[in-house]
Amino acid sequence: MKKRILFVCIENSCRSQIAEGFARSFGGHVLEAYSAGSRPSGKINPYATKVMWEEKVDIFSQKSKGFGDLPVKNFDYVISLGCKDKCPFVPAKKHIEWDIPDPKGKGIEFFRTVRDTIKEKVLKLIFEAAEADKRKTGDK
């Protein structure tokens, strides 16, 4: 059974969109990924789509949304990407804080650095979810 994961940030336009894109692209076999923001901007930052396209991950069809727009309400993981107390509490089995700087208003190189940091963390999360799944099913 896939783990449901929610990535949250304030505007749901950069960091959480990048994390959702990586989780869907690389971890779709073990994760069901979503993202939302406490004050969604209504659009994805063009630099976010550009730096993800450089990684061959398409986030063009993703939408900036709030918590009320999510199709599910129960999550195994809620990962905050730096919004701390600005994001409402969303019930989950596990809450994780990734203190990732907001790239909004910064240059493309800063976006690349943020993207690479998020990619590393998402890949580690995918690995951990896959290992937990193996332990549960008894696979080697």
- Which domains are seen in the chain, by residue range? 3-137 (3.40.50.2300)
- Residue 72 three-state SS: coil
State the catalytic residue, choosing from 9, 31, 33, 36. 9
- Residue 76 three-state SS: strand
State the catalytic residue, choosing from 30, 83, 114, 126. 83
Confidence of residue 23 (pLDDT cuts 50, 70, 90): very high
SS (H, E, C) 28-52: CCCEEEEEEECCCCCCCCHHHHHHH
- The yes-or-no verdict on residue 132 having pLDDT over 80 is no
Over residues 39-68, the pLDDT tens digits come to 999 999 999 999 999 999 999 999 999 988
Over residues 67-85, the pLDDT tens digits come to 889 998 899 999 999 776 5
Query: Which range is least confidently modeled, 39-48, 62-71, 92-101, 124-133?
Result: 124-133
14 catalytic per annotation: no
CA contacts within 13 A on the Cβ side of 139 = 6
134: left (phi over 0), alpha (psi -120 to 50) or beta: alpha
Give CA–CA dist 95/14, Å, rounded: 20
State the catalytic residue, choosing from 87, 100, 114, 122. 87
What residue type is assigned to position 126 of the chain?
Answer: I
With CA atoms as reference, report the closest residue to 83 among 128, 19, 31, 30: 19
Instruction: State the pTM of this model.
Output: 0.91
Q: What pLDDT score does 138 carry?
A: 63
83 catalytic per annotation: yes
